[in-house]
A and B are shown apart, each in its own frame.
Chain A
């Protein structure tokens, strides 16, 4: 039933500029002169970093602007209708019906008090001509179409009873209820686990092919774009800087920013650190007369400062907003040769012995009777040794217990059993309250989101002074000098001292958090998803900084992330966790190559590369487990290579290759 891609554009954006009125009364543009068209049956990707205006553009295509924003010039048409001149009533008829939106967090966009079936029926009542009696059959059909198992059961559930991936599927089903001609997707897979994300993307591809609807896919993730889109628009500071076929844009981008963006993405196949794109985009209204990217561009010349480049077509067929598009291919899209290898002493700094952690608290009756809860612990049997100066990557999906282990090592969560041993200090007491100051100093923690981990009411100097005063008793000029040195070491100047965190960008804030951890001169730094809240180009810079610091100070890291490519770029050794149990551990290169644990295989297969020709392999079912099984292999319920009842009853043995690469599976190593 797939329509051919027809000539007539379904969505046409013409010279659209959108802005808001700033404090001083000036109009500050958020979108500038956007020109693009989406044809029937085509899928267009909008890619860019946070603040680039990609979501604003997608919403504008629906005739919707966030409060405070207004159209400065141009307009947008959907199927020949000028979206900004339509009445509220007319828009209601189109939105959700012919033109549907799937937002980032559908868990929040589904009504929590209505069953999935009821929400779908409502969408049908509003946007389809089906008679009431056929609704329930259609609901099941829709849920089937988004590949939800047991659709009639799902229809009877409330949103909170579904996993994140299932909620996203239900939201897609709801959008499909009106048989839309076009689907707008705003970061639909951000925040989902890699395997779930891969499943959703495959579903979207299939749906586009089945129904022939057009898609506008907004994402910061070039990997997802590569999988779903035919054409890509790269956004920067409210402008479309590059537009072209996905293969062209991802293989050989003709715009310097797109090249920088591509180079800053860590790749699964590449153990080197990604290249950082220094600087930050100009805020609205600060783009100046020239090219918006000029301050960060390596090939900028004088003309780039004085005149704004037009969107011009280059020989490859792409449209580029750059004066020097012909020279862009001189910029690398890959990192340069690897830096010097580091020396890792064969001398353990941290050893975890059979560590287990349980979130279950004994109930009231258990407390009285002095019983211990009989539930299986959340994290169990973690035995890991970390050498001085080594980086251990800890990977796994959400709920795998990665952060829980870090919290236990940092003394914020009491372990249920096992020991945490720090070289020179012996076994650490379970909680911070009972640890000695020097033990605390040697282990430092960096959190995921610097907005949360930096006190918004303290200046940068006050933030950095905390560990310095506490551990070294510094004050006065010595303290000031040390703070300056620290800021210098994370490539922020002394002029940052009196600023508040809210005056810094996300990347700068995370640097302050890194500086605070290193202020203690630690031997071990625990990094908990430290780059997940950052844009890719900023992520590359923070990874580079962490690399520099471990080289100069010989610090050991435990680096927790759900992103396998990021872990690969930084780690010497990698441990794979599922449901709080270790599946595989070994040198990074060995873990990322065969043979591997079935779970590692599933994870690696689901990773998306910014390359339209890599196809993810989806082997395990897309289900979310809430608690680990009491016996046997932790992966037993999802394993695509399960061999028999021993997987359910016996804990699999560790199979070692003699070089530190161990896999915990019943399948013989040779067969993995």
Chain B
């Protein structure tokens, strides 16, 4: 465990650095973190790096194969696929980057509350959550989006709401685990107030589980967002977006496969990166139980 190898834990900053060092010490974690960093970099600086204007239509350049001028070829409107792929993650990362923390916060809050309350109320509420989770997510989302429209101001709350629900389960389970432990009993026996116990004893132990869960949720949310774009409910043209690009290019896949391949590589490399990082993060934080010293 990273925490065990660092000699002290005086500040949050040094623990953060320790965790980062631990993640990068594993090959999969280093690759994952590099991929995520790379994508964040592109999302921020993409407009300055893109060689062409992403919305420059040119009827003479339709469906060009990859070449020195157009690395990933061009699409059916003659737009440069490389530039569009470079920028295709911006919207997705922005929306999910805002929605994920909201999902983790509200799901975590409710989950911890359920976990603390326990008893019959917890049982009843969790069955409601289960029932809700059993519905296909795409159906639920489409209902909301069709009702309220497709702008960012609808997508962010919608994604945050739906992806917060599975977080409830995780937060509740983590809370149950911690509440049963003796250090909570010890704090109760000393006579600490409820809020103090939650803040000092419970939260630091639930936080790590939520952090890892958040990273996982982010990758799921990215997929969901891209799926919505693919179906035409996400980003509106001409804004470049991976999901939308795949939808546009899929009709020409048999003779212009690069049009699909480029956004697919963009999307999957980010999702793989996030998953690898989340795995390494879980190990670094000592949540992953399979990863124990052999002795």
Does B4 have its Cβ within 8 Å of any Cβ on chain A?
Answer: yes
B9 touches A498 (CB 8 A): yes
Hey, which chain B residues are within 8 Å of A454, CB to CB? 183
Cα of A453 to Cα of B183 in the assembled complex, Å: 4
Rounded to whole Å, the gap between the CB of B78 and the closest CB of chain A is: 54
Residues of A within 8 A of B189 (CB): 410-412, 432, 440, 444-445
List A contacts of B125 (CB < 8 A). none
Interface segment, B109-117, B150-158, B199-207?
B199-207
**In the complex, which residue of chain B has the Cβ closest to the Cβ of A411?**
B189
Which of A51, A455, A499, A502 lies in contact with B8, CB distance below 8 A? A499
Interface residues of B in 1-50 (CB under 8 A from A): 1, 3-5, 7-10, 25
If A457-B204, A459-B9, A499-B8 touch, whether A452 touches B192 (CB-CB below 8 Å) is no
Known interface pairs A20-B294, A56-B295, A502-B3; A455-B185 also in contact (CB < 8 Å): no
Nearest-neighbor residue (CB-CB) of A28 within chain B: B295
Bound complex: CA of A30 vs CA of B294, how far in Å?
10
Contact of A498 among B8, B201, B204, B294 (CB under 8 A): B8
Residue of A nearest to B201 (CB): A455
Instruction: Say yes or no: B191 contacts A457, CB within 8 Å.
Output: no
- Assess the B190–A455 pair: CB atoms within 8 A: no
Q: What is the CA–CA distance of A23 and B189 in the complex, to the nearest angstrom?
A: 40
Cβ–Cβ < 8 Å partners of B187 in chain A: 466
Binds B, one of A66-74, A182-190, A472-480, A538-546: A66-74
Residue A437, interface by CB 8 Å: yes
Per-residue B-contact encoding for A52-69, CB less than 8 Å = 1, 0 else: 000010000000001111
CA A68 to CA B295, docked complex, whole Å: 9
Query: A284: CB under 8 A from chain B?
Result: yes
Rounded to whole Å, the gap between the CB of A652 and the closest CB of chain B is 34
Question: Using a CB-CB cutoff of 8 Å, which residues 436-494 of chain A contact chain B?
Answer: 437, 440-441, 444-445, 447-449, 452-459, 462, 466-467, 470
Is A503 an interface position by the 8 A CB rule? yes
Q: How far is the CB of A48 from chain B (nearest CB, A)?
A: 13
Q: Which residue of A lies closest to B181 (CB)?
A: A452
Does chain B have a CB within 8 A of A435?
yes
B window 260-295: CB within 8 A of A: 286, 293-295
Residue of B nearest to A528 (CB): B182
- The interface residues of chain A lying within 8 Å CB-to-CB of B293 are 20, 68
- Give A20's nearest chain B residue, CB to CB: B294
Min Cβ gap B46→A in Å is 38
- Complex CA gap A453/B189 in Å reads 12
**Which of B181, B191, B201, B295 sits near A435, CB closer than 8 Å?**
B191
Q: Which chain B positions have C-beta within 8 A of A69?
A: 294-295
B185, A440: Cβ atoms under 8 Å?
A: no
Q: Which A607-637 residues have a C-beta within 8 angstroms of B?
A: none
**A520 at the binding interface (Cβ < 8 Å):** yes
Q: Are A467 and B294 in contact (CB under 8 A)?
A: no
Interface centre among A56, A441, A500, by most chain B C-beta atoms within 10 angstroms, is: A500
Closest beta carbon of chain A to B163's beta carbon, Å: 26
Distance between B256 CB and nearest chain A CB, rounded to angstroms: 49
Tell which of A66, A432, A459 touches B191, judged by Cβ atoms closer than 8 Å: A432
- Mask: chain B, 171-205; 1 = CB below 8 Å from A; 0 = not: 00000000001110111111110000000110011
Q: Are B190 and A520 in contact (CB under 8 A)?
A: yes
For B201, the chain A residues whose CB sits under 8 A away are 455, 458
B182 touches A452 (CB 8 A): yes
Q: How far is the CA of A441 from the CA of B190 in the complex (A)?
A: 7
How far, in Å, is A575 (CB) from chain B's closest CB? 22
What residues of B have a CB within 8 angstroms of the CB of A462 in the complex?
A: 200
Q: A453-B182, A454-B183, A455-B205 are in contact. Are A68 and B191 (CB under 8 A)?
A: no
> Is the beta-carbon distance between A466 and B200 smaller than 8 angstroms?
yes
In the bound assembly, the distance between CA atoms of A459 and B286 in angstroms comes to: 16
Identify whether the interface residues of B are mostly helix, strand, loop, or mixed: helix
Measured in the bound complex, the distance between the Cα atoms of B9 and A432 in whole Å is 32
A448–B185 alpha-carbon span in the complex (Å): 12
Contact check, A500 vs B188: say whether CB atoms are below 8 A apart: no
Provide the residues of chain A in CB contact with B25, threshold 8 Å.
23
Q: Which residues of A contact B185 (CB under 8 A)?
A: 412, 445, 447, 453
A457-B205 in contact (CB<8A): yes
Chain B CB within 10 A, most for which of A410, A452, A457, A459: A457
Taking CB atoms, residues of chain A closer than 8 Å to B181 are 452-453
Nearest CB of chain A from residue B266's CB, rounded to whole Å: 35
Query: How far apart are the CA atoms of A458 and B204 in the complex, in Å?
Result: 8
CB <8 Å contact, B8 and A456: no
Of residues 387 to 423 in A, which have CB atoms within 8 Å of B's CB atoms? 410-412
Return chain A residues, CB-CB under 8 Å to B188. Answer: 412, 432
Chain B: CB-nearest residue to A431: B188
A444 cross-chain contacts in B, Cβ below 8 A: 189-190
Contacting residues of chain A (347-390) with chain B, CB-CB under 8 angstroms: none
A448: B residues at CB distance < 8 A: 182
Partner of B295 from A51, A411, A441, A453 at Cβ < 8 Å? A51
Instruction: Please determine whether B4 and A500 come into contact, CB atoms closer than 8 angstroms.
Output: yes
Q: Which residues of B contact A445 (CB under 8 A)?
A: 185-186, 189
A457 (CB) vs chain B CBs: closest residue: B204
User: Which residue of B has the minimal Cβ distance to A66?
Assistant: B294
Q: Is the CB of B205 within 8 A of A284?
A: no
Return the CB mask of A564-575 against B: 1 if under 8 Å, else 0.
000000000000
**Contact call B1/A502, Cβ cutoff below 8 A:** yes
Question: Cα distance A41–B151 when bound, in Å?
Answer: 81
Is A20 a contact partner of B295 (Cβ separation < 8 A)?
Answer: yes
A457, chain B: closest CB distance, angstroms: 4
Q: How far is the CB of A363 from chain B (nearest CB, A)?
A: 13
Q: Report if A458-B8 is in contact (Cβ < 8 Å); known contacts: A437-B191, A447-B182, A466-B190.
A: no
Can you name the residue of chain A whose Cβ is closest to the Cβ of B194? A433
Q: Which of B9, B183, B191, B294 meets A470, CB within 8 Å?
A: B191
CA distance A437 to B189 in the complex (A): 10
Residue pair A502, B4 in contact (C-beta under 8 Å)? yes
Q: Is there contact, CB below 8 Å, between A455 and B183?
A: yes
Greatest chain A CB density within 10 A among B8, B10, B25, B190 is at B190
Distance of B45 from chain A, by nearest CB (Å)? 36
A119-137 contacts to B, CB under 8 A, are none
A69 to B292, CA, bound (A): 12
- Complex: chain B residue closest to A435, CB-CB: B191
Give min CB distance, B12 to chain A, whole Å: 11
- Shortest CB-to-CB span from B35 to chain A, Å, is 24
Known: A432-B191, A467-B190, A500-B4. A452 touches B295 (CB 8 A): no
Bound complex: CA A530 to CA B294 (Å): 27
Q: How far is the CB of B206 from chain A (nearest CB, A)?
A: 10
Question: Inside 8 A of B7's CB, which chain A residues have their CB?
Answer: 499, 503
The answer for the CA separation of A502 and B185 in the assembled complex, in Å, is 20
Q: Which residues from chain B contact A67 at a C-beta distance below 8 Å?
A: 294
- Cα distance A6–B281 in the bound complex, in angstroms: 56
A449 to B5: give the CA distance in the assembly, Å.
Answer: 23
Which residues from 310 to 333 on chain A have a C-beta closer than 8 Å to any C-beta of chain B?
none
Shortest distance from the beta carbon of B231 to any chain A beta carbon, whole Å: 43
Chain B residues in 8 Å Cβ range of A68: 293-294
Contact A458 B200 (CB under 8 A): yes
The answer to whether B191 and A452 touch across the interface, beta carbons within 8 angstroms, is no
Assess whether B182 is in contact with A284, with CB atoms less than 8 Å apart: no
CA distance A23 to B185 in the complex (A): 36
In the complex, the chain A residue whose C-beta lies closest to that of B4 is A502
Q: Provide a sorted-by-A list of 21 A–B residue pairs whose CB atoms are within 8 angstroms.
A: A23-B25, A66-B294, A437-B191, A440-B191, A441-B191, A444-B189, A447-B185, A453-B183, A456-B205, A457-B204, A458-B204, A462-B200, A466-B187, A466-B190, A466-B200, A470-B190, A499-B8, A499-B9, A500-B3, A500-B4, A520-B190
The 7 closest A-B pairs by CB, nearest first: A68-B294, A457-B204, A440-B191, A453-B182, A452-B182, A498-B8, A447-B182
Q: A466-B190, A470-B190, A498-B9 are known; give 9 further A-B pairs, CB within 8 A.
A: A51-B295, A410-B189, A440-B189, A440-B191, A455-B201, A458-B200, A466-B200, A499-B9, A503-B7
Q: Which B residues lie at the A interface, using CB under 8 A?
A: 1, 3-5, 7-10, 25, 181-183, 185-192, 200-201, 204-205, 286, 293-295
